[in-house]
Amino acid sequence: MILGEGDRSALERRFASGMRDEVTLLVFVDDSMAISKDVIDVAQTFSSLSPKIKLEVEKVANGKNQRMSDLRVENHPVIVLTKGDFSRIRYYGVPAGHELGPLADAMVELSNSHANLSPKARNIMATVRRRANIKIFVLTTCVYCPIVARHAYRAAIESQKVTAEIIDSQLFADLAQRHSVMGVPKIVLNDNTDITGAIQEADFFDKLKDSDTALIDSMYG
């Protein structure tokens, strides 16, 4: 990935001033897929900007990798943000364009084990009772997608129950079709709540709470 000097310097300053602990970018790629080189290139660029960003590359052969299976990562190529036993932020595709900023912010906030949430959003996250999955379908050219991507990243950092998956809807067209993605950003909460379009933090976390309640009610209703 080629960054302009201004962008590179800005990211270096952001990482240098904001990161406390090391974060590892765990990348799963298949050498038979041309896009894999681009994914590794992006991850290498990030790791070159800070000594606190480490890189691990795992190869997938015939769709299989034991570590990927252990982490319940279902698709590739993917970048998984990890820190200790944390592995709940996954970016499927190449985080370029408008998706660079949100992912960089996620690294910083994960490094500090602190999500930049409002008190209301933090209180809502404390009420989530079951494991929650957030899928955000994006395009790197979409100016509205970073808003909801940040919501998802922060939810995963805040709560051990939440996994956030950001999915490039163009590169993963089969997944986009499965979830009836007609526009981006498309938010899928627990596979039972769909929202298309950018929404602000308060609305996003209210929808996540409602989705969690619906998931529980479906078990006992």
| Domain CATH for 171 | 3.40.30.80
Q: What local confidence, expressed as pLDDT, does residue 132 receive?
A: 93
Residue of 92, 190, 85 whose CA lies nearest to 139 = 92
Q: What is the pLDDT of residue 221?
A: 38
Question: Between residues 211 and 217, which one has the greater pLDDT?
Answer: 211
Q: Which of 125, 146, 87 is nearest to 208 (CA)?
A: 125
Any domain includes 102: yes
Residue appearing with tokens 């990890």? 82
- For residue 1, is pLDDT > 90? no
Report the DSSP pairing between strands 78-83 and 162-168: unpaired
CA dist 120 and 113 (Å) reads: 18
What tokens does 53 get?
A: 């960003």
Phi, psi for residue 170 in degrees, rounded to 5: -80, -45
Instruction: Using pLDDT thresholds of 50, 70 and 90, give the confidence band for residue 26.
Output: very high
Domain that residue 50 falls in: 9-220
**What's residue 6's pLDDT?**
83
What is the arithmetic mean of pLDDT over 11-38? Answer: 96
Percent of the chain with pLDDT over 90: 86
For residue 3, being part of any structural domain is answered with no
pLDDT at position 2, please?
62
Instruction: Report the pLDDT value the prediction gives residue 215, as an integer from 0 to 100.
Output: 62
Mean pLDDT rounded to a whole number for the chain: 93
Whether 178 maps to a domain, the answer reads yes
**What whole-number percentage of the chain has pLDDT above 70?**
96
The yes-or-no verdict on residue 133 having pLDDT over 70 is yes
Secondary structure letter of residue 98 according to DSSP: G
Overall domain count for the chain: 1
Q: What is the pLDDT of residue 5?
A: 84
> According to the model, what pLDDT value does residue 219 have?
43
Asked whether the beta carbons of 163 and 90 are under 8 A apart, the reply is yes
Residue 159 lies in a domain: yes
49-107 pLDDT per residue, tens? 999 999 999 999 999 999 999 999 999 999 999 999 999 999 999 999 999 999 999 99
**Averaged pLDDT, 191-217:** 86
pLDDT at 220: 40
How far is residue 130's CA from residue 149's CA, in Å, rounded to a whole number? Answer: 21
CA distance 83 to 191: 26
- Give the number of other Cβ atoms within 10 Å of residue 220's Cβ: 5
- Give a yes or no: residue 16 inside a domain: yes
The model's pLDDT over 139-185, given as tens digits with 9 standing for 90+, comes to: 999 999 999 999 999 999 999 999 999 999 999 999 999 999 999 99
The answer to whether residue 4 is domain-embedded is: no
Cα–Cα dist 34/51, whole Å: 28
Q: What is the pLDDT of residue 213?
A: 81
Q: Which parts of the chain fold into alpha helices (H)?
A: 5-18, 35-48, 66-70, 100-111, 119-125, 145-158, 173-178, 201-220
**Does a structural domain hold residue 1?**
no
**Is residue 144 a part of any domain in this protein?**
yes
Please report, for the chain, how many H helices and E strands are present, in that order. 8, 8
Here the tokens at position 75 are 């698709």
Q: With cut-offs at 50, 70 and 90, classify the pLDDT of residue 30.
A: very high
